């Protein structure tokens, strides 16, 4: 089986969603994350990039990672291979002002459970 070109990964927006420019930039970051995930699980990657992983926290208690909306346990399962392979990987946790602080704290706890302790919190603009 030939090597996949991970620079051409296209991550679709959820059905009915309108993408803001910062969300398009987040998709590019998520394509890089997909390449990192592929490398950890053994798929060939042409050129690994040292970019932070992005976890988006939603006010309903769900998360988004690598273009997929996940529950807490699903997030831990998705991050765990990366935590085991690269425990010093930086994770950016992104949430807007409407997201309760407890949800952001939960994301931090889940990252730690997955073996990732290098975290950075990034504010996300609130949509009007």
Give the tens place of pLDDT for each residue, 68-110: 999 999 999 999 999 999 999 999 999 988 899 999 999 999 9
Q: Which of 48, 47, 54 minimizes the C-alpha distance to 27? A: 54
Question: Is pLDDT at 3 greater than 90 in this prediction?
Answer: no
Which fold is adopted by the domain 21-124?
Nucleotidyltransferase; domain 5 (3.30.420)
Buried b (16+ CB within 10 A) or exposed e, 64-77: bbbbeebebeebbe
On the CB side of 16, CA atoms within 13 Å amount to 0
- State the pTM of this model: 0.62
| Strand, helix or coil for residue 52 | coil
Give the tens place of pLDDT for each residue, 13-48: 444 444 455 555 555 555 556 555 655 555 544 444
72 in Cβ contact with 106 (< 8 Å): yes
């Amino acid at each position: 089986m030939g090597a996949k070109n991970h620079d051409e990964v296209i991550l679709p927006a959820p059905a009915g969603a309108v993408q803001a420019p910062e969300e398009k930039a987040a998709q590019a970051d998520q394509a890089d994350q997909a390449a990192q995930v592929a490398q950890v699980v053994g798929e060939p990657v042409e050129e690994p990039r040292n970019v932070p992983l992005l976890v988006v926290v939603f006010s309903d208690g769900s998360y988004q990672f690598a273009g997929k909306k996940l529950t807490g346990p699903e997030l831990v399962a998705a991050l765990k291979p990366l935590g085991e392979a690269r425990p010093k990987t930086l994770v950016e946790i992104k949430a807007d002002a409407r997201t309760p602080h407890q949800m952001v704290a939960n994301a931090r706890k889940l990252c730690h459970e997955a073996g990732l302790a290098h975290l950075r919190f990034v504010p996300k603009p609130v949509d009007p």
